[in-house]
Amino acid sequence: MAGMTVEKSDRGGAPILIACAHGTDNLQGRREIDAVRAGIAALRPHLEVLEAYVDVQDPDLVDVVASLPPGRPAVIVPLLLSVGYHVKVDIARAAASRPHTIAALPLGPDPRLAHVLQRRLAEAGVDDGDAVVLAAAGSSDACAAEDVAEIRAVLAELRTGPVRPGFGSKATPSVPDAVADVRGTAGSPVALASYLLAPGYFHDQLAKAGADAVSAPLLPSPVVAEIALARYDDAAARLADGPRREGAPCPRPCSARVSMCVRSGSVQPA
């Protein structure tokens, strides 16, 4: 298939890893996601790694899954920071369309990402006591907001200044509203912690939000490839265990406000 790449051949019989990103028109953003796949392959040389996207770029995830060799197990790893439509619908349906295929959880909210955010703020010259708005892309899914809240809580523990969330779309407060609110109460400079993987449309918009500083996105960072492999390993173990058995309900408060909770087991299509 045109556009599909295999980073390494699989010599050990492990499930294929499909690294599924959102997709972007930003060339630097594309390079950063390419580097994540390369990082995964470097950490696990015998693992077959395929690229796929849910929007903007090719190869499309549906086509990648349809082209897999019959009988080969596969794990779709969302190179996304939160749950939301792409995880619960696009990726879950692609996994459900084929036997022996499972979707892993998204990259967030892994606490290591908060440590990367803190480094990016320091690199942008943001003082530890300055107020920060954690700027996320946003989703109408309640669990996506909970994902961001968990990262905000870890970042707040790493700083002395206040940390508030803000969203690019589909959730409140918006990033500009959060900046204005914090500026009116904090009495200190306001910085944006860019909770985005790579440069692109949403990061470009942060410059217009009225903050005193904007940190760079998370990438490049080896942590992202490490988390992606951890998500792969967890999902591959579930795949080897066979059909999911019902376990304890997810304790997160958002689970009661959504029709599907991906953290109570393997991702199923909405």
The predicted-structure confidence for 144-195, as pLDDT tens digits, reads as follows 889 999 999 999 999 999 999 999 988 899 999 999 999 888 777 999 999 9
Query: Which range among 81-90, 187-196, 209-218 shows the weakest confidence by mean pLDDT?
Result: 81-90
Residue 245 near residue 72 (C-beta atoms within 8 A): no
Q: Map residue 134 onto helix, strand or coil.
A: strand
Whole-number pLDDT of residue 23: 92
> Above 90 in pLDDT, residue 68?
yes
Whole-number pLDDT of residue 255: 64
> Above 80 in pLDDT, residue 247?
no
Query: Mean pLDDT, to the nearest integer, of 211-220?
Result: 97
Dig out the tokens for 48 from the structure. 């077959």
Q: Taking Cα atoms as reference points, which of 87, 69, 63, 67 lies closest to residue 77?
A: 87
> Above 50 in pLDDT, residue 266?
no
Whole-number pLDDT of residue 244: 58
What 90-93 contacts at long range (C-beta under 8 Å, 24+ apart), as own/partner pairs, is 90/54, 90/61, 91/20, 91/54, 91/61, 91/267, 92/260, 92/262, 92/267, 92/268, 92/269, 92/270, 93/269
Residue 103 near residue 235 (C-beta atoms within 8 A): yes
Please indicate whether residue 246 or residue 99 has the higher confidence score (pLDDT): 99
Residue 147 near residue 80 (C-beta atoms within 8 A): no
Dig out the tokens for 259 from the structure. 């029709």
Dig out the tokens for 122 from the structure. 């320091």
Query: Mean pLDDT, to the nearest integer, of 67-80?
Result: 95
Reported as a pLDDT band with limits 50, 70 and 90, residue 5 is very low
For residue 245, give the DSSP letter. Answer: P
> Above 70 in pLDDT, residue 6?
no
Query: Mean pLDDT, to the nearest integer, of 1-11?
Result: 41
Dig out the tokens for 59 from the structure. 């190869």
> Above 70 in pLDDT, residue 27?
yes
Reported as a pLDDT band with limits 50, 70 and 90, residue 85 is confident
Strands (E), the chain: 16-21, 49-53, 74-78, 101-103, 131-136, 163-167, 190-195, 213-214
> Above 50 in pLDDT, residue 98?
yes
Residue 16 near residue 46 (C-beta atoms within 8 A): no
